[in-house]
Structures are given as C-alpha cells and as structure tokens.
Amino acid sequence: MNSQGHNEQRVVWTVVATDIGPLLLAATRDGLVNVVFHATDPVRDKALDRLGSRLGGEPVEAPDSPLLAEAIRQLRAYFAGERQDFELALDWSLISGFNRQVLRELASGVPFGTVVGYGDLAGRVGQPGGAQAVGVAMGSNPLPVVVPCHRVVERDGGIGGFGGGLETKRKLLALEGVLPEPLF
C-alpha cells in the first residue's frame, strides 16, 4: 500500500501513432487498462495524472514493456486492416457497475463491421429504456477502440456522440466498412 492507503498498481504506458492520431496506451499486470485519444502532451499528462490517482503510484513510460507489446501489435494490425477482433487481457478496474456490464456486453456481443443502437444495447443488459445510461457508459469507456464504443449509434441512423470526436468515430466506422471512407 502507498502512503494514502491505496493498493499501488504498477502502470506502464506509451503513446502510439495511429490513423486516428496518437493513442496513449496504459497497462497493468492484469492487462490493458486505458486507451486515450488525441494523446498530445497536455492530454497525455492529464490522463497520466488521473491514472496515478486512481490506481496509485506514478505511471511509468515503458514503450518496450511486455505488458504493452501485444496491445501495440494488435492495434497496428487493426488499423492496417489485418485484424478485426482484439484478443487482449483487459484490466477493468477503472470502471464498475452498470457501465462495466454494458461495456463487457459491447466487447463480446457487437462484432467488427456491425453497429448497435444505444437502446438495443440497454435491452441486452436488462435495462430496456436505458439508452441514456448506455450513452453515459460509452462516454466513460476507459478502453475505446478495443472496447468498441464507436459501434454504438442512434436508433434513427445518426452516429451519436463520441469521446474521441465525431471525425474519429466516422474514421473507425469507415475502417470497419460500416460507413464509406470520407472523401476529404
């Protein structure tokens, strides 16, 4: 335990370049714990401060860490169009309750190249009428791309919101063949 009484968890991190911009990847011994969009220096620093306070200890930059190697490899393959499914150990410690339940259902039940409505996803976890709560769960997803919140859309065909920005959501959906590639 650290001096604040928290169990300290060693967190390693790196930033990788992708087709949707730099992603911060962070992992613990239990698995990938966080993916952060648009990981410019200020975004990265804020995310690392948050991780340190939530998990205890100072996150350590370790681009060659074995804890990150497979996540980096699979993300590169995904963006190259060579991988559709992620097979990674995930550390779910940053999320709990209903949000964790929804994200686990999303990860296991909405495959590459498909989308699901917010309300439909709510129904799958036994909360019909919980579309707004599903939206909150998507917004709190600590593992975007790997846990594919970009695949959740509005019932009327709109693409809905997205923590990484709508342009990023469109690019991910185009990569998966759900939307046409943007013209510009």
From residue 166, alpha-carbon distances to 21, 81, 102, 162, 169 in Å are 13, 21, 21, 6, 5
- Catalytic site residue from 25, 121, 149, 172: 149
Q: Please give the mean pLDDT across all residues of the chain.
A: 92
Residue 19 annotated in active site: no
Average pLDDT over residues 68-75: 98
Task: Answer left, alpha or beta for residue 5, where phi above 0 means left and psi between -120 and 50 means alpha.
Answer: left
Q: What is the pLDDT of residues 19-63, one digit of tens each?
A: 999 999 999 999 999 999 999 999 999 999 999 999 988 999 999
Q: How confident is the model at residue 182 (pLDDT cuts 50, 70, 90)?
A: low
Of 58, 57, 16, the C-alpha closest to 38 is 16
Q: How far apart are CA 20 and CA 153, in angstroms?
A: 19
Contact between 131 and 119 under an 8 Å Cβ cutoff? The reply is yes
pLDDT given at position 6 = 45
Residue 184 pLDDT > 80? no
pLDDT given at position 8 = 56
Contact between 38 and 164 under an 8 Å Cβ cutoff? The reply is yes
Residue 146 pLDDT > 50? yes
Residue 4 pLDDT > 70? no
Q: What is the DSSP letter of 149?
A: G
Contact between 124 and 151 under an 8 Å Cβ cutoff? The reply is no
Cα 98 → chain centroid: 16
Q: How far apart are CA 184 and CA 107, in angstroms?
A: 30
Average pLDDT over residues 118-134: 95
pTM of the predicted protein model:
0.91
Of 115, 32, 21, the C-alpha closest to 73 is 32
pLDDT given at position 183 = 59
